Amino acid sequence: MVSVRFFDSYDEIEAWTRIHSEGAVLSDKTPLLANLSMQENIALMDEVHRFMPIKASQTLARRLLAKLNLSHIEGKRVGACSDFELFATMLLRAERMPKDEIFIVLPLSLLGHADAVEQTLALIALLDSPKAISILELNSNRMHYQGQTCHILD
């Protein structure tokens, strides 16, 4: 289950992620590369960290996008994608990072609308990752997580 950790400020979140280097961070400070397509952004992790050949890594990236029902964006670049599509690609990139955890920082501000929490949780459920996924959120957004299927850490 996804766990949610609340902080008083963005600086606190940044400090926390710096200490917890065991996780791949997904935030507005870790955008996708604008000169690569969505599948290339995801495949980059396997090519760099696992020396996987281009063809194999991109096939895997396309399979992951298909798993999230986003096959239509595999060849698109950052400017041609919605916030949700970018977020999903960032999640897949974090998934392919050889780390045990994924930290999603402020999904509400990344997705920019009130349904962001539901969308994020649905996406994570669809991904069905073996990794531990934590959402790092501000205390002021706590009410958006009430009643959601996530584990709130205080």
Interface residue list for other proteins (CB under 8 A): 24-25, 28-35, 43-45, 47-49, 51-54, 57, 93, 97
Supply the minimum distance, in Å, between the C-beta of residue 88 and other proteins.
16
User: What is the rounded CA–CA span in Å between residue 58 and residue 74?
Assistant: 9
* Residues contacting 21, CB < 8 A, separation 6+: none
Question: Please, are residues 54 and 47 in contact by the beta-carbon 8 Å criterion?
Answer: yes
Residue number, 45 or 127, with CB nearest to other proteins: 45
Supply the minimum distance, in Å, between the C-beta of residue 71 and other proteins.
22
Residue number, 29 or 72, with CB nearest to other proteins: 29
Phi, psi angles (nearest 5°) of residue 56: -65, -40
Supply the minimum distance, in Å, between the C-beta of residue 36 and other proteins.
10
